[in-house]
Amino acid sequence: MNLAEDLLEQAGHLAKREPRRPRQASLRRAVSAAYYALFHLLTAEAALLLTPNLPLARRADVQRWFDHGEMKKVCQQFRSSSLQKPASLSGLHLSSPLQRVASAFVNLQEARHKADYDIATSWTRISVQQQVALAADAFAAWKQIQGTEEHNIFLLCLLLWKHFEKERP
Amino acid sequence: MNDEEERRRAEELIREVTLPPEIERVEVRAGVDWTGDPALKVTLWVTPALVFNQEKANALNKAAEEVQVKLLESSLSRYPFVTLDQAA
């Protein structure tokens, strides 16, 4: 398994630990792992798309080009019912699986921030399992669109959205 | 729409969604996400008596997704975050 799949499995494991009284540490790490599972899935594939001839270690450097906040903005655009498409994306069809991936990314990122930094809030198992299920659903949806035009364009937009935005009428 | 109008509109839209009986209360708050962008924080409160199993979890996750889609497809300007929670 790759890192993204390992993280998703770890998230599921942590979400089910301590069946009677789950520890906040386990629940919070589960949410964080669920987010990073999807983050690594997307950025690893984007790095491969951009730099297919680089060795794996160098591609890891490319993954660092991606900014969490910018990725969230792109995902919100793709999930919106009124995506303002730049001219070069005007014919792009946004499928339901892609929108599920985009939506899951936005939700998971917000949850991850709360899990890692908002220690005043307690997590419950049900809320954590929702986040893990979101990540798992995003992985399944992502497989459905692999190799498609929207898959490639979405990955490029995660890094280059600002440049696409310049094309807006 | 101001914060309160947007919150009330969200509540109206959520009432149009058929929610599972295990969801006993819906809470909608206008706020910001971690980047400071305007957001709607929707919490679907699940009854504390719920005996949890995978089938129930799937149904509740589906309900949360339906609520989010309903809000995303509306004219609301804030991005909706829909979470499940359960009172201790």
Q: How far apart are the first and last CA of chain B?
A: 35
Integer CA distances (angstroms), A91 to A29, A87, A105, B57, in order: 40, 9, 24, 37
Chain B neighbours among A 34-73 (CB < 8 Å)? Answer: 69, 72
pLDDT in tens, A124-142: 999 999 999 999 999 999 9
User: How large is the average pLDDT for residues B37-64?
Assistant: 89
Q: Cβ B46–A126 below 8 Å, yes or no?
A: yes
CA-closest candidate to residue A163, choices A76, A58, A87, A72: A87
pTM: 0.92
CB-based contact (8 Å) between A28 and chain B? no
Which residue type does B37 have? Answer: D
Nearest to A127 among B34, B68, B84 (CB): B84
Residue of B nearest to A117 (CA): B34
Nearest to A126 among B35, B39, B84 (CB): B84
pLDDT in tens, B2-33: 889 999 999 999 999 999 999 999 999 999 99
Above 70 in pLDDT, residue A81? no
